[in-house]
Homo-oligomer: A and B are copies of this chain.
Amino acid sequence: MADLPEPTIERLLQLTRVLDNCGAAVVTSAEIETRTGWSSHTIRKDISYLDGDFSTGSGYDVAALGSAVRSALGLDIKRKCCVVGLGRLGSAYLNFPAFADEGFELVAGFDSSVNRVEILRSPVPLYPAFKMGEVIVRFGIEMALLCVPAASAQAAADRLAAAGIKGIVNFAPIALELPPGISVRNVYVVDELRAISARIPIRKKENP
């Protein structure tokens, strides 16, 4: 839903997980506040954007609220995805069962090595990278997991953009430059390690 404020989108995305894991049929905004740190006021405001009736006398109906959030965010729409770059990480994601459980349909994998495409065993069809544009258009693929090395990532992203991709999960440690309208989410595990590192108190040397 393009007209939700950006912070509301982020919170509603997290709210779906909170509701999935809350293990109760009814939840109050105070309980959501305890689990998330958002103020009850913010929670009620975010929820006011949603269509539907999910209030009960004692709180929100978890199933109905979850379904309203999913609908507002378009998460009830099945989206087709592909993996670009079939090294170790890309190959791991080819075999990731959670995609289907969550409404994402992995329909293709691409690699620049024709040899790798031919020998790799995969539950989804694999194609050489030069067929990327054609295959993405043919199947209506909307999202890509970009698992190529940093040096190839921008070129691969350009080809994805030219093929009409809507969003990219970028695992390469570079900032992609893409036309407006294409969402990029960067996932780089070294950055996560650095973020942890920066929060470990610096110890004094034992033998100065």
**Chain A residues at the B interface, C-beta cutoff of 8 Å:** 1-2, 9-10, 12-13, 16-17, 21, 73-75, 77, 79, 81, 88-89, 91-93, 95-96, 98-99, 102, 104, 142-143, 145, 166-169, 173-175, 183, 185, 187, 189-202
How far apart sit A192 and B168, CA to CA, in the bound complex (Å)? Answer: 9
Q: Which residues of B contact A75 (CB under 8 A)?
A: 194, 197-198
How far apart sit A73 and B183, CA to CA, in the bound complex (Å)? Answer: 29
Q: A13-B191, A73-B194, A74-B197 are in contact. List 6 more A-B contacts (CB 8 A).
A: A2-B202, A17-B173, A17-B175, A99-B193, A142-B200, A187-B192
Of B10, B12, B95, B202, the residue contacting A74 (CB under 8 A) is B202
A183 touches B167 (CB 8 A): no
A202 touches B169 (CB 8 A): no
**In whole Å, how far is A108's beta carbon from the nearest beta carbon of chain B?**
15
A–B complex contacts, Cβ < 8 Å, 10 sampled: A2-B199, A13-B191, A13-B194, A17-B173, A21-B174, A89-B96, A102-B190, A145-B189, A167-B193, A183-B200
B200 touches A166 (CB 8 A): yes
**In whole Å, how far is A176's beta carbon from the nearest beta carbon of chain B?**
11
**In whole Å, how far is A83's beta carbon from the nearest beta carbon of chain B?**
10
